């Protein structure tokens, strides 16, 4: 299945539920219904609650955000905007993670199966020119909210042995496929180029694809690796090879072309008719001009992706509009779920203000939505970047197939997948 949520049992499983190629699934942990125990011991965090949201927040609330590194935290919210907990100790001490306060393309976490990958930098807060330093790192959190693994990237630069992924420039997004393996995207400066898509296999970093050096967000939908980019000839959403490639020389191919001047970031992809193929996508665009905001794309009968709408966010009255002007903004972080029973997409996004930006929600019930809801503000000298659903650990899919048969509901949605 595609996107962040594949199989959705209405009101029973979250819309982010889906199967991957290893016959595992991403679904809500239903202790009350299926007797599943929580994995991992409670330490400095409470277990992440299935179906909640996680948001990467940057800043300390005191120092103005700038190109210097700032503290990273992950906040957990209910989908109605209630703050559940703020994870901070997972990114301090030996697990230090910071990120640039002003690099708006950095900080896009992703959950997949039982793990949450948080990208960042292994450098003290307050370090200038942070985004360009070769001190990248990823903390992989489990469903218990604690660090299951930490990986620091090679620091030798583009000609080092091994070379530094995203040398001299931005590390933007990561998605884990297990506690010990993950994909990462970004861009690089210098020669040779070391941007594009990388895979950490538990021992080494492999540049899976350098077809396009300058990439933004990374996702797994329907067993397929996807990336977004605003670079020339790759503006839109691209597929990286076939399935989940792990070796060099993989081709990145533009799948949904959002057009010249577009600026895509986060995205979700769904199979709305349950035929096993992607047919709808929502894309975050950070422009505050025509075409920016939330874009919906649908696959037509000729298998061509067409833009159904693009709506900007009017912060003065929380409406969605095509009109530009004062108080109009776009979005960058994006996640969502699909309810096949009601034909409704529930979307959650982070907005483009550089300080004290918003976590927002909106509903697409089949036609273009007209309003959005602000769930939370980041706060002064904080900024939200990536947003996703909490990671969940699940049994073999047969359990859920039986559950689906029992309820008479079997739908496909789409987003990230499961680990081993």
**CA 60 from centroid of its chain's CA atoms:** 22
Q: Provide mean pLDDT across the span 270-277.
A: 96
pLDDT reported for residue 371: 99
Q: Is the pLDDT of residue 3 over 80?
A: no
Instruction: Please say whether the dihedral angle defined by the alpha carbons of residues 239, 242, 244 and 247, taken in this order, is positive or negative.
Output: negative
User: Percent of the chain scored above 90 by pLDDT?
Assistant: 82
- DSSP string covering 57-98: EEE-SSSPP-SSEEEEEEEEE-TTS-EEEEE-GGGSGGG--E
pLDDT digits (tens, 9 = 90+) for 296-333: 999 999 999 999 999 999 999 999 999 999 999 999 99
User: Phi/psi at 213 (nearest 5 deg)?
Assistant: -75, -30
- Compute the distance between CA of residue 83 and CA of residue 377 in angstroms, rounded to an integer: 11
Q: How far apart are CA 84 and CA 77, in angstroms?
A: 5
DSSP annotation of 254 reads E
CB 237 within 8 A of CB 224: no
Mean pLDDT of 387-402: 67
Residue 308: name the closest of 294, 299, 323, 298 by CA.
Answer: 298
* pLDDT tens, residue by residue, 18-39: 333 222 233 333 333 333 333 3
Dist CA 17 CA 339 (whole Å): 11
Instruction: Give the chain's mean pLDDT.
Output: 88
Identify the band that residue 45 occupies on the pLDDT scale cut at 50, 70 and 90: confident
Evaluate whether 248 touches 207 at the Cβ level (below 8 Å).
yes
pLDDT score recorded for residue 99: 99
pLDDT of residue 113: 85
Rounded to the nearest 5°, which phi and psi values hold at 233? 70, -5
Asked if residue 169 has pLDDT above 50, the reply is yes
Name the nearest CA neighbour of 93 among 44, 39, 130, 28: 44
Q: Is 95 helix (H, G, I), strand (E, B) or coil?
A: helix
CATH of domain 18-36+48-255+378-407: 2.115.10
Torsion 293-7-82-216 (CA) sign? negative
**Whether residue 406 has pLDDT greater than 90:** no
Give the residue extent of every domain in the chain.
18-36+48-255+378-407
Mean predicted confidence (pLDDT) in 9-16? 32
Give tens-digit pLDDT for 111-127: 998 999 999 999 999 99
Whole-number Å distance between alpha carbons of 72 and 305: 36
Do the Cβ atoms of 34 and 399 come closer than 8 Å? yes
Q: In what order do the strands lie in the sheet with 358-364?
A: 331-339, 344-351, 358-364, 373-377
Mean pLDDT computed over 185-203: 98
Residue 203's region, left for phi above 0, alpha for psi from -120 to 50, else beta, is: alpha
Q: What is the pTM of this model?
A: 0.87
The more confidently predicted of residues 32 and 261 is 261
Name the residue with tokens 């790192």. Answer: 137
Measured in whole angstroms, the distance separating CA 216 from the mean position of its chain's CA atoms is 10
Strands 196-200 and 182-186, sheet pairing: antiparallel
pLDDT, residue 15, reads 35
Q: Are 110 and 388 in contact (CB under 8 A)?
A: yes
Query: Strand 110-112 vs strand 252-257: parallel, antiparallel, or unpaired?
Result: unpaired
Q: Give residue 341's pLDDT band: very low, low, confident or very high (50, 70, 90).
A: very high
The whole-number average pLDDT for the span 268-291 is: 98
What is the mean pLDDT of the segment spanning 196-225? 98
* Mean pLDDT, residues 208-236 taken together: 98
Query: pLDDT, tens digit, for every residue of 94-115?
Result: 999 999 999 999 999 999 989 9
Query: For residue 52, what pLDDT band results from cuts at 50, 70 and 90?
Result: very high
């Amino acid at each position: 299945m595609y996107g962040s949520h594949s199989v959705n049992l209405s009101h029973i499983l979250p819309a982010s539920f889906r199967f991957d190629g290893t016959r595992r699934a991403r679904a809500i942990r239903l202790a009350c219904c299926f007797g599943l125990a929580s994995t991992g011991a409670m330490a400095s965090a409470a277990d992440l609650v299935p179906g909640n949201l996680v948001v990467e927040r940057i800043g300390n609330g005191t120092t103005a955000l700038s190109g210097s590194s700032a503290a990273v935290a992950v906040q957990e919210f209910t989908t109605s905007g209630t703050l559940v907990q703020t994870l901070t100790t997972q990114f301090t001490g030996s697990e230090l993670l910071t990120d640039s306060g002003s690099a708006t393309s950095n900080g896009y976490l992703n959950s997949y199966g039982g793990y949450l990958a948080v990208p960042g930098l292994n450098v003290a807060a307050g370090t200038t020119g942070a985004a360009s330093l070769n001190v990248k790192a990823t903390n992989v959190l489990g469903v218990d909210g604690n660090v299951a693994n930490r990986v620091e990237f090679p620091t030798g630069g583009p000609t080092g042995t091994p070379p530094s992924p995203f040398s001299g420039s931005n590390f933007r997004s990561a998605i884990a496929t297990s506690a010990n393996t993950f994909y990462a995207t970004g861009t690089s400066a210098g020669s040779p180029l070391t941007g594009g898509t990388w895979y950490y296999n538990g021992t080494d970093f492999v540049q899976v694809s350098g077809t396009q050096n300058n990439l933004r967000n990374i996702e797994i939908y329907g067993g397929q690796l996807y990336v977004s980019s605003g670079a020339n000839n790759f503006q839109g959403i691209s597929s990286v090879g076939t399935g989940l490639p792990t070796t060099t020389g993989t081709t990145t191919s533009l799948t949904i072309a959002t057009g010249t001047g577009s600026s895509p970031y986060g995205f979700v992809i769904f199979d709305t008719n349950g035929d096993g193929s992607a047919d709808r996508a929502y894309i975050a665009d950070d422009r505050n001009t025509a075409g920016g905001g939330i874009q919906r794309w649908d696959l037509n009968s000729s298998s061509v992706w067409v833009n159904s709408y693009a709506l900007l966010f009017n912060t003065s009255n929380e409406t969605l509009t095509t009109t530009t002007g004062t108080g109009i903004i776009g979005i960058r972080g994006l996640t969502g779920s699909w309810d096949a029973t009601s034909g409704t997409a529930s979307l959650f996004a982070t907005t483009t203000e550089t300080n004290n930006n918003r976590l927002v929600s909106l509903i697409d019930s089949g036609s273009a939505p007209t309003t959005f809801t602000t769930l939370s503000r980041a706060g002064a000298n904080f900024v939200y970047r990536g947003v996703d659903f909490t990671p969940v650990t699940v049994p073999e899919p047969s359990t859920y197939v039986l559950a689906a048969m029992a309820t008479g509901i079997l739908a496909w949605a789409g987003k990230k997948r499961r680990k081993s």
